[in-house]
């Protein structure tokens, strides 16, 4: 999976993620993508991995679980219908070859 992380200032970083089991959060943290913190390590306790996904893809991603939904209520920037926790987006479950995510201005 190729993930493009777009920042508020229009800069972006592109990663090729070979490991299907990896999450969009983990790959970002491992590659020091700005603005994705992933403080809890991916167990839905921090909401510092919030991203906005492209609207074209939002509906084809795996549904938001109750716990993800609860955590999304507490994100630092506005929650929209395209908000996701990137720790819950595993490469194997993304049905496209290239995914663009928009990193919010802040996670705190
Ligand atoms: Fe903590 Fe996603 S990394 S909720």
Nearest to 37 by CA among 77, 64, 2, 66: 77
**Does 42 sit in the ligand 1 pocket, CB within 6 Å?**
yes
CA 44 to ligand 1 centroid distance, Å:
5
Is the ipTM value over 0.90, yes or no? yes
Rounded-to-integer distance, Cα 81 and Cα 53, Å:
9
Please give the distance, rounded to the nearest whole angstrom, from the Cα atom of residue 23 to the centre of ligand 1. 10
Tens-place pLDDT, residues 11-66 = 999 999 999 999 999 999 999 999 999 999 999 999 999 999 998 999 999 999 99
Check residue 94 and give left, alpha or beta (phi > 0: left; psi -120 to 50: alpha).
Answer: beta
Answer whether 25 contacts ligand 1 (Cβ < 6 A).
yes
Global pTM reads 0.97
Where in the chain does DSSP place strands (E)?
Answer: 2-6, 12-16, 50-53, 83-85, 98-102
- Domain over 2-102 is classified CATH 3.10.20.30: yes
């Amino acid at each position: 999976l190729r993930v493009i992380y777009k920042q508020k200032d229009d800069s972006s970083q592109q990663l090729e993620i070979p490991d299907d089991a990896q999450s969009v959060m983990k790959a970002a943290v491992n590659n020091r993508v700005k603005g994705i913190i992933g403080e809890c390590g991916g167990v839905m306790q921090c909401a510092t991995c919030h991203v906005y996904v492209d609207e074209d893809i939002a509906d084809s991603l795996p549904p938001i679980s109750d716990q993800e939904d609860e955590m999304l209520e507490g994100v630092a920037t506005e929650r929209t219908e395209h908000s996701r926790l990137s720790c819950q987006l595993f490469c194997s479950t993304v049905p496209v070859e290239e995914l663009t995510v928009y990193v919010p201005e802040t996670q705190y």
